[in-house]
Structure formats: structure tokens, C-alpha cells
Structure 1
Amino acid sequence: MHESISVSLPTGRLDVSVRRADLPLDVLCGFGARRNPRRGFLFVSKVLGRHLPVRPSTMRDVHRRLARKLPDDLPGPVVVLGLAETAIALGRGVFEEYVRATGREDVLFLQSTRYHLSRPVAFRFSEEHSHASAHLVYRPEDARADGLMRAARSLVVVDDEASTGRTFANIVTAFRRELPALEHVAFAVITDWRPVASPRVALPEGLRSHDISLLEGEYAFTPADRPPIAMPRAEGSGELKDALISRNDGRFGLLAGKAAGSLPDVSLPGGKGRRVLVLGTGEFVYPPYLLAAELEQAGAQVWCQATTRSPALVGDAIGCALQFHDNYADGIDNYVYNVRPGDYDDVIICYETPADTVQPELIRALGARVVSFS
């Protein structure tokens, strides 16, 4: 499946060509402009549930497709790492589907986070082009989970897209420094834009790797002749966020077979025909996705999405934007894209943070109700 398109963005021209695809380009992603001087363009996933609303069943299909591409016989133990904030639900979903398909018990899920907690850090890495570049990965709190991580021979890094491979190289370097038993790395993404001619990822000697994706292609970006864009502050305060320790959805390691936990009982007044949006907040995305999936299975018309600290310009795939203060007490702006007041009959905003952190301006704008998971 070969396809080439050119997209005019406020920040420049993005030229994209597709080499291989399991699903069509326009099914998987659109394009937008970042408010970021380091990178002026944005691949806007249509199946991730972050910048665009997505049916939970569509998200699960993507989780399954990626999980089925992973070898059943990866050397164990295996660590699946989902990258904050964008790929936390994607990473967790791939982990769950891989465990379900293989029946393996030596698989551990971890997510990176931007938040400082009173827990020992396993390693840190940088996502250099990001609006918030510093990632932390904490040591698992469970002794067996910690043992699996320390003995890990395979690492599966899950992200929504790959463009240069630098972040992957940073992760592997940090991981290998702490866990010398590592021998195999898999990089799992929805869309892979790295050119074939360049090295995929610079790996330490002795490591084997392979790449899986639903689409492979290349891109070229020509910046517009315009004044540099000033990026809003998107890095947190660095203060401890220990209120988040009350939950463990991946920050402290999840073992295969661990129950996802009970979901809040959410009624849908007006019957199954109502259009419902379940909105996660920041890094809190997988439990809201499960809630959305449960409502969808009960027959409701449900879409799933999440707020983000990623600053984007309105245009192309970013049809509109709401801006408000974050709920993690960092004093930075957060956004929800492509959601207009009145689009849905019912909007449910899900929080892992304490009750006094909810976002009144967002709740009022969307006429939403709040569900607490804390």
C-alpha cells in the first residue's frame, strides 16, 4: 500500500509517504501543528484516544493487532513499557492482549511518568523533541514484580509513533545500565516514520531488536518562514505527587493476570442511544478506557479520549481546543482537542487525583459530570 500526501500546516509543510500499512493512513492518523520550537508538526492518531475521540472497541482492536505481532517466545522475563503520557493506555492494552494470547506469567507492565513520587526510581530517560522531555520509571512495589524487572531479558517499548528512534535509544541505554541481563528489545508503535536508509535504533552491543507497527512510512518537514513559536510551559514543578501512590495502574509495575480492579458504577440516564464521551485526565487513561469499554459493551454509543499537556495549534486534524489548568497541581495548562460543548449527551471526566483538583472550567464548558477513581 503506497501513498503520498502533502499537508500544509501553520508551521510548515509536511510530506508523508506510506511504504506498508495494515490499515489505511486516513484510518490511523491525521496531522497537526505543535506549539513547540523543537518540532512543528504532530502525527494525530485516530485510534489512540488522546487528541481525537475513539470508540473503545477500535482502541482494543489496535491493542490486539500490535500484541499479535510480538513473538510468543520472547526471552523471559519480559517488561512491557508504555510511554507517558500518550502511550500509557496503548502500552497497557498491548500488555494485556499479549498476556491473554500467550498465557505467559513472566510478563510485567511498567509505564513511564512525569511525576515525582516518594518511591525508588529504576531509571530516567529523555524524550528530546517532546514538550515535556523528562521521564521517570519507578521500581515495582511488589517483590515478585521487582524480581522480574531485575532479571528481564526482553523489553517491549510501546509508543504511538516513531519518527527518529532517539527516544528508543535513550530508553534502551538507561534500561541496560540498570539491567544487564537484557538481550532482546522490541519497539511497538502504531505508525513508524523512520526512513529505511538510516539506522533504526542505535543499540548497545549484544542486543537484538525488531520493530512492529501497523504502518511504515517516511516524512519530510519544511518549516514555514515565520517567527519562532513560543512553547507554553509544560514541565511540572518537580514537587512530590504522593497522592498518586494510592493507585497502581502501572507506575509501580503490574504482573500478568492481575485484576484491573473494580470500576465505578456509572448510570446512563436516557437510555442506550445517548452519545457518551468518557474523558481520562493526563496520565490517567487506562481505567477510563475500561469504563468506556464496559459502557460500550452494555450497548451505549461511547467514545474515549483524554486531556493532555501537549500544546497544539488549531488546524487540520486539530479542529478545536479547550484550555484549562491541570489537575496535578503543577500550574501548567492542559488541553482537550476536538471536543465541543454539545457534541455529546453525556460527558464523564475521570480523575485519579484528589477531589479538590477537579477542573471547574472544563466541567462547566462540557456540562460534564465527574467520576473519581482515587
Structure 2
Amino acid sequence: MNQNNSPSQLTVTLPRGTLDLTYQSNPNLDNRYDITDLLDFAQRINPKRAFLFVSKVLGRHIPVAPSVMRRAFSELAGLIPDGLPEPILVIGMAETAVGLSAGVHQVLQSRYPNALLLNSTRHAINHADAKLLTTFSEDHSHASHHLIYQSDDEHIQQAILNTRTLIMVDDEASTGNTCKNVVHALQAAGLNQLEQVHLATLVDWSLDSGAEIQDAKGIQFFRQHLLAGSWQWSDAPNPKAISMPSLDTTAAGSEPILPTGNWGRQPTFDSASGLGNYLADFWDRFSRKFGESSELPKRILVLGSNEFVWLPFLLAEHLEQQTSLQDSEHRVCFSALTRSPIAMGCAISERLSFRDNYGLGMTNFVYNVAPSAWDLIVLCIETPNDSVDALWQNLDNVLIVSPEPSF
């Protein structure tokens, strides 16, 4: 921990270049984070940007205890001030920050019970009532196109259009351009009463870009973060060319997306509305596979899939709380499948690749997961049971949880 909060510096050497960082923790936090508490580093398989900040508290590329994730959600939400103009819209960035935004929103609702949650998505929704609100681009991403859906509830949709405070949640901000793109897209879609925009991130590297972001007339711009700073990238001499797989699609796949409740892909007040049924379904599947009297194994990994991470996280949190009542030897962690291609090395010690379960014909990955290191892997999907790759189907320690009945 950096207790005196003076700026620190770090140089990270990756195969394609060098990343020079200057950073400091947020002085408004009782628990001040050092960069090693929050981040590791890896190389993207992406010609747009060669490096990746790999979060240690997000449960995306590094398995992490749900309690660690919950603390980060709560501390970030706690930095958002009281007395904000309402209506309030919390918006999260797919796919990495979908769970983070729901976590921040859930904590905020103790102070702002009418705050709405809405996440961007890269999955087209195929039902008649689903209508697009807007789209935007995340310029440096491996999958730059995002969709934002409106509500089919007239009251909720009017609250969206009347939004006065926008809280944009992301894992990190590296230039501020994505925030600017989102604000402009929402204004063009009819959110013309915006007064404040709060960029809430685990780590904010965009402090030098503030003037560029704050170009929307009449809107006040604020930042909340656990750690902030700036970065400078220097290419290595004669780096090898990178061929990135084709991942930039918002099309619907051949597998149906089954109902799991509304956790933010469309606007919602209650992102956990489907949790009771989800927990009951897990326990039913667990007892069928292992027997009704079976105790939870010692080492459990819960995996969300792409954007479907919030209910799986709440399941992991439930299991962590259950096992903590038994003994201290139990370990529950959370991580997720992703379409993001990352090179081996540095923060990435393990990489599994497999066919995506949405039927998009693309490769998905999971990082830093050796299946044999876990007694039970709970793979949570929003598509049919048999949509997952044979890699998962053939592992005896994997329990697939899907909205489709098990038989």
C-alpha cells in the first residue's frame, strides 16, 4: 500500500514494447490501493493497442474471490457523491464491466433507490419488444461496436430520456474517448436533460484527457476511481505483425439467448430479480449430479460467460458465504469466458480456447484457469445446455448451469 499517496512510477516491459506508468491511489479512500493490488499486465492480440491492464479485482481474466470483488464494487460506489440530480442512469460497458456496473448500481441503490441500470451489449436481442436506443464505438477495443437497448416499459423509458445524472462504469479509462462517445450517442438518442456525467472506474488513466471529454455543452464532468494516473507506450523495435481474430460483431448467433431475468441488458431497477430462481436451479443441478446429501467441494470456480456474469457472480458470492460457514479450507473464486484474445506471458499463465456458446462461430477463451486445480467448476451460460464446447462437456468436474431444463 502507498500510504503517503505521493505519485509512484512503474515500467512494464512487454514483448511489443514498454509501458511507463505514473499513478497514485485515491486519497478519499480509507483503504488506499497500490497498483499491485489492482492490476497486472499482459499483451493484447490486437494491432490497435499492444498492452492490456489486467484487473485483479474484476473476476474477468484472473479468478478472484467474490468478497474481493464486492469490496471493490462497494468502495467505488462509495466515492459517488450524495445529492445527485435525478433521474440517475448507471451504464456499464460490455463485456468487461457488466458485472462491475451491476455491483456499483446495487450498492448505490441504498442511497438512490430509483437509479436505473443499463449495460451496453454486443449481443443482438431477438424479440419484438427489444428496440435499440443507440449505438457507439469503443475505438481501441477488439470488438468496437456496442448496442444500447431501450426499455419496453413506458415509465422506465421516460426515466431514461429524462436522465439528469449519468454514471458511466468501466474497469478502466485509458483515454476518455469511450466516455465521450457514449455521452454523444445518448444525447443524440434523446437524453437532452443531462447535467452531470460521472466516470466511475477501478483505474483511470485518462486524467490528461479531461478537457477533451468535457466538450459537451452544459454538462459537468466528474471522475471517481480507486487509482489514477497516466501511461506512455513505446513500441519495441521491429515488432512482429499481429493478426487479430475476427471478433467485432453484434449479430445474433445461431444459439438462442434464453431468459435469465433482466440484469441490465435492457434498463432495470433490480438487476438481481432472477436470483432466487437461479440459485434454486444451481442447487437442483448440483444435487442431481453429485447426490442430494453431497457437501460443496473444497475448491470451487464459478465461470460466467461473456456478458452473462452478474447472476453467476451472485451465485459465487452465495457459495462463498455458504462454505465460509463450514471451515476456512474452502475456496470459491469467480472468473469468466471471454472473446478477448490475449497473448500468453506476464499476467496470463494459462489459456484455454474453445468454440463460443452463442453460435457466433468465434473462438472464446478463459485465462489463468487450469481445470484440474478445481474440485468443481460451475459454468454458467445463458444459452442451451449443449451449446458449450466439448472441452467443457468432457470434464467430470464441470457443472453446466443453463436456463434450459437439465432433462
In structure 2, the residue matched to 1:186 is 198
Matched, 1:7 2:12: yes
- Aligned-residue CA RMSD in angstroms? 2.0
Partner SS state of residue 298, structure 1: helix
Equivalent position to 1:282, from 292, 297, 306: 306
Distance in 1 between the 2:35 and 2:393 partners? 34
Q: For residue 261 of structure 1, report the CA deviation from its aligned partner.
A: 2.9
In structure 1, the residue matched to 2:186 is 175
In structure 1, the residue matched to 2:240 is 227
Q: For residue 319 of structure 1, report the CA deviation from its aligned partner.
A: 1.1
Any residues of structure 2 matched to 1:142-157 within 5 Å, and which? 142-157=153-168
Contact 1:106 1:148 in 2 (8 A): no
Deviations 1:64-103 (A, max 9, x none): 0111111121111000001100000000000000002x1x
Any residues of structure 2 matched to 1:31-46 within 5 Å, and which? 31-46=41-56
Distance in 2 between the 1:271 and 1:328 partners? 32
Distance in 2 between the 1:181 and 1:49 partners? 35
Residue range with higher mean Cα deviation, 144-153 or 24-33: 144-153
In structure 2, the residue matched to 1:49 is 59
Residue range with higher mean Cα deviation, 120-129 or 198-207: 198-207
In structure 2, the residue matched to 1:107 is 115
Distance in 2 between the 1:149 and 1:242 partners? 30
Q: For residue 199 of structure 1, report the CA deviation from its aligned partner.
A: 2.5
Any residues of structure 2 matched to 1:6-155 within 5 Å, and which? 6-21=11-26, 22-100=32-110, 102=111, 104-118=112-126, 119-155=130-166
Equivalent position to 1:305, from 317, 321, 335: 335
Partner SS state of residue 338, structure 2: coil
Provide TM-score, normalisation by structure 1.
0.94
Provide TM-score, normalisation by structure 2.
0.87
Distance in 2 between the 1:227 and 1:35 partners? 11
After the TM superposition, list the runs of 4 or more consecutive aligned residues in structure 1 that deviate by more than 6 angstroms. Answer: none
Q: For residue 16 of structure 1, report the CA deviation from its aligned partner.
A: 1.4
Identity of aligned residues (%): 38
Contact 1:236 1:332 in 2 (8 A): no
Distance in 2 between the 1:274 and 1:311 partners? 31
Contact 2:253 2:360 in 1 (8 A): no
The residue identity in structure 2 corresponding to 1:302 is V
Matched, 1:340 2:362: no
Equivalent position to 1:218, from 210, 227, 230: 230
Distance in 1 between the 2:396 and 2:92 partners? 29
Contact 2:255 2:359 in 1 (8 A): no
Say if 1:308 and 1:265 are closer, same or farther in 2 by CA, change over 3 A.
closer
The count of aligned residue pairs is 372
In structure 1, the residue matched to 2:29 is none
Distance in 1 between the 2:363 and 2:37 partners? 30
Matched, 1:320 2:350: yes
Partner SS state of residue 59, structure 1: helix
Distance in 1 between the 2:271 and 2:249 partners? 33
Say if 1:237 and 1:57 are closer, same or farther in 2 by CA, change over 3 A.
closer
Distance in 2 between the 1:245 and 1:354 partners? 7
Q: For residue 322 of structure 1, report the CA deviation from its aligned partner.
A: 0.5
Q: For residue 168 of structure 1, report the CA deviation from its aligned partner.
A: 0.6
Say if 1:354 and 1:242 are closer, same or farther in 2 by CA, change over 3 A.
closer
Contact 1:99 1:256 in 2 (8 A): no
Contact 1:116 1:241 in 2 (8 A): no
Q: For residue 167 of structure 1, report the CA deviation from its aligned partner.
A: 0.6
- The runs of 5 or more residues in structure 1 that have no matched partner are none
Contact 2:258 2:383 in 1 (8 A): no
The residue identity in structure 1 corresponding to 2:403 is F
Distance in 2 between the 1:144 and 1:195 partners? 37
Q: For residue 356 of structure 1, report the CA deviation from its aligned partner.
A: 3.0
Say if 1:111 and 1:242 are closer, same or farther in 2 by CA, change over 3 A.
farther
Q: For residue 345 of structure 1, report the CA deviation from its aligned partner.
A: 1.1
Say if 1:66 and 1:200 are closer, same or farther in 2 by CA, change over 3 A.
farther
- The runs of 5 or more residues in structure 2 that have no matched partner are 27-31, 324-329
Say if 1:158 and 1:366 are closer, same or farther in 2 by CA, change over 3 A.
farther
Q: For residue 304 of structure 1, report the CA deviation from its aligned partner.
A: 0.4
Distance in 1 between the 2:95 and 2:263 partners? 13
Q: Return the index of the structure with the highest Cα Rg.
A: 2
Say if 1:197 and 1:359 are closer, same or farther in 2 by CA, change over 3 A.
closer
Partner SS state of residue 86, structure 2: coil
Q: For residue 242 of structure 1, report the CA deviation from its aligned partner.
A: 8.8
Contact 2:122 2:145 in 1 (8 A): yes
Distance in 2 between the 1:94 and 1:241 partners? 32
Q: Give the structure with the higher percent strand.
A: 1
